[in-house]
Amino acid sequence: CAAPAPRAEDLSLGVEWLSRFGYLPPADPATGRLQTQEELSKAIATMQQFGGLKATGILDEATLALMKTPRCSLPDLPPLSWARRKR
Amino acid sequence: QAPAPTKWNKRNLSWRVRTFPRDSALGPDTVRALMYYALKVWSDIAPLNFHEVAGSTADIQIDFSRADHQDEYPFDGPGGTVAHAFFPGDHHSAGDTHFDDEEAWTFRSSDAHGMDLFAVAVHEFGHAIGLSHVSTPSSIMQPYYQGPVGDPLRYRLPYDDRVRVWQLYGVRESVSPTAQLDTPEPEEPPLLPEPPDNRSSTPPRKDVPHRCSAHFDAVAQIRGEAFFFKGKYFWRLNRDRHLVSLQPAQMHRFWRGLPLHLDSVDAVYERTSDHKIVFFKGDRYWVFKDNNVEEGYPRPISDFSLPPGGVDAAFSWPHNDRTYFFKDQLYWRYDDHTRRMDPGYPAQGPLWRGVPSTLDDAMRWSDGASYFFRGQEYWKVQEGELEAAPGYPQSTARDWLVCGEPAAGEAEAEAARA
C-alpha cells in the first residue's frame, strides 16, 4: 500500500514550517510558494534527519507531530546553506 | 552546515531581565535566579563572566513578550515557538533573549504541559553566546523542547555542547578538559544568596540597629537593588524600591569573605567596568564577585591612589562613567576602566550644588537620578544635573525604609520599642 497523501492543510503547514526553519528557501514573491515535489521531499528528509526521524521525505504523522512540538524560533539551517545547496 | 561562528570579543557580559512574565506563577526573583543559573551553566566551563545589571545598556536584554514584538520572530501563543535569542554581533539586539509570555513557564513543576524556564533559558543563552542549532539528540542546542533538564544547581552541559563552546571561547581556567572528559561528579555551585528575611533561627541580637533611626554607614545600588549598611547589618530594597524585609540581614552571612571582626563598612559601590562590588573600610578594600570575596583581598586603598585615612563615600556617576570618592570635604575622581585616578584631584567638595560637603554615601538609582545620603537625610540630583532637586533634603527612613513621618523623638521611641 502506498502511504496516504498528506492533507492540504498539513502540506500547507509543512511548507510554511520548512521555510520558517530554514529547510526551504524563503517564499519568492514572483512565484509564490511553488516548490517542486523533489525539493519538498528533500527538505522534509533533511528536517527528519535533523529531528532524529527516519529520513523518508514523506510528510507522515511522526513528521507532522515533530513540527507541532514546541521549539526555539531560530532556524535550524542558516540562510547561507541555501546558496551552497543550490550551487 | 553551521554558519561562520559569531562570538563575543569581550568576556565580561552584562545581563538584565527587562520585562517579566505577566501571568506566571514564577515571581521576578525566581525568574532572575533561573536566568542567573542558566547563564552560569555556560560561564562555569567557558571563560565568560555574566553580571546582572540594572541599566538599559546590558549586553543580554531578557524579555517576556507576546505575539509580534518588533523583531523578525513573532510569537504564536502557547506551544509552537517558545523563545529565541540573537547571536553575538555588532547589531543592537545581539545577545538579547526573548521568551513567549503566553507559555506556561514553570520551574520544578510536575505539570506536563508547562514549559521549564531553566531548560529553555540554557538553550537560548547558548544562542546568545554564539551557538546554533544541532541535530545531536542529547544536545541542549537541538531545537525542540524536550522537557525539564533537572536541578539548575546540578545541571551540567552535555559533552557536545561543552566542546562547541570551548571551540568558540576556549576552556575556563578552572576547568580541566581532561577532568571534563572523565565525567567527574559535578561540582555543586553555590546556592543563590538567601534573601535577608526573618527566617533566621538565631535569636535577635542586641547590636541590631533600627532602620528608622539609623545613620547609615554606606548605601549602594548593586544589581539594581539598594543596600543600606549599618554596623554588621544591612537592609535591601528590590528594584521596585520595596524593602525585602523589615529585619536587617547580617552582613557576614551574605557577603561571604568579609572578616568576622569587621564591625562596619565605610563605603560600597558596584564597579561599572566589571560589575564587581567594592567594599571600603579604613585603609583597606575588598572586591566581591557576586557575594563572594575575590582572592587576594583585602588590599590597601593606595591601589586607587587614595591617601591613608579611608573614604566616607564611593559613587559611580554614569553621566561621565567616573567613580567619585569622598573623604571629609575632599573628593577624588577615578577611572575604573583604566584603574587610574584622574589628574587634578582631590578637589574641594561638593561637585553638586546643594549637596552637603561631607557624605555618608551616594548611589545612582534606576530612575536615572543620583542620591546622596548624610545623617538621616538624603538629597536627589536629577540625571545629568549638577544641582540638588528642589525640596531636598528629605527623610531617608520615610522615603526608603518604610518608616513613618519623623516626628520629634518618634524614631528614637520606635528604636527603643524594637
Residue contact A74–B73, C-beta within 8 A:
yes
Q: Is the confidence at residue A67, as pLDDT, over 50? A: yes
- Calculate the CA B142 to chain-centre distance: 30
Read off the pLDDT of residues A6-38 as tens digits, 9 standing for 90 and up.
777 788 888 999 999 999 987 666 655 566 788
Strand partners, B325: B314, B332
Residue contact A78–B84, C-beta within 8 A:
no
Q: Which residue has the higher pLDDT, B398 or B201?
A: B398
Q: Which of residues 290-319 of B touch A (CB under 8 A)?
A: none
Q: Please indicate if any CB of chain A lies within 8 Å of the CB of B115.
A: yes
Answer yes or no: B295 catalytic: no
* Sequence letter at residue B317: W
Q: Residue B289: what pLDDT?
A: 87
Least reliable range by pLDDT among B106-115, B141-150, B200-209, B347-356:
B200-209
Of the partner residues B2, B73, B135, the one whose CB lies closest to the CB of residue A50:
B135
- Point out the catalytic residue in the list B124, B225, B270, B377: B124
Residues 6+ apart with CB under 8 A from B105: B21, B24, B25, B26, B99, B114, B115, B117
Q: Residue A36: what pLDDT?
A: 79
- In the numeric block, the cell 557576586 is attached to B290
| Angstroms from A24 CA to nearest CA on chain B | 14
Q: Is the confidence at residue A49, as pLDDT, over 70? A: yes
Q: Is the confidence at residue B203, as pLDDT, over 80? A: no
Question: How far is residue B7's CA from residue B166's CA, in Å, rounded to a whole number?
Answer: 12
Of the partner residues A50, A70, A81, the one whose CB lies closest to the CB of residue B115:
A70
Read off the pLDDT of residues B351-384 as tens digits, 9 standing for 90 and up.
899 999 899 999 999 888 999 999 999 999 998 8
Q: Residue B416: what pLDDT?
A: 44
Question: How far is residue B254's CA from residue B277's CA, in Å, rounded to a whole number?
Answer: 13
List CB contacts (< 8 A) between B111 and chain A: none
- In the numeric block, the cell 551574605 is attached to B254
Q: Residue B56: what pLDDT?
A: 78
Structure letter (DSSP) for residue A32: B
Mean pLDDT of B95-101: 97
Side-by-side strand order, sheet with B394-395: B361-364, B370-374, B377-381, B394-395
Question: How far is residue A32's CA from residue A25's CA, in Å, rounded to a whole number?
Answer: 12
Read off the pLDDT of residues B2-59 as tens digits, 9 standing for 90 and up.
455 589 999 999 999 999 999 888 888 889 999 999 999 999 999 999 998 887 789 9
List CB contacts (< 8 A) between A73 and chain B: 73, 75, 81-84
What number of CA atoms fall less than 13 Å from residue A62's CA on the CB side?
Answer: 14
Q: Please indicate if any CB of chain A lies within 8 Å of the CB of B125.
A: no
| Angstroms from B143 CA to nearest CA on chain A | 6
> B117-128 and B28-43 helices cross at what angle (nearest 10)?
50
Residue contact B2–A78, C-beta within 8 A:
yes
Complex ipTM value: 0.85
Read off the pLDDT of residues B57-86 as tens digits, 9 standing for 90 and up.
899 999 999 999 999 899 999 999 999 999
Strand partners, B371: B363, B380
Least reliable range by pLDDT among B29-43, B118-132, B251-265:
B251-265
Of the partner residues B3, B83, B115, the one whose CB lies closest to the CB of residue A73:
B83
List CB contacts (< 8 A) between B115 and chain A: 70
Closest listed residue to residue B218, CA positions, set B287, B268, B271: B268
List CB contacts (< 8 A) between A69 and chain B: 144-145
Q: Please indicate if any CB of chain A lies within 8 Å of the CB of B77.
A: no
Structure letter (DSSP) for residue A46: H
Q: Please indicate if any CB of chain A lies within 8 Å of the CB of B375.
A: no
How much is the mean pLDDT over chain B?
85
Give the containing element (helix H, strand E) for B250: strand B249-250
Q: Please indicate if any CB of chain B lies within 8 Å of the CB of A83.
A: no
Question: How far is residue B105's CA from residue A69's CA, in Å, rounded to a whole number?
Answer: 16
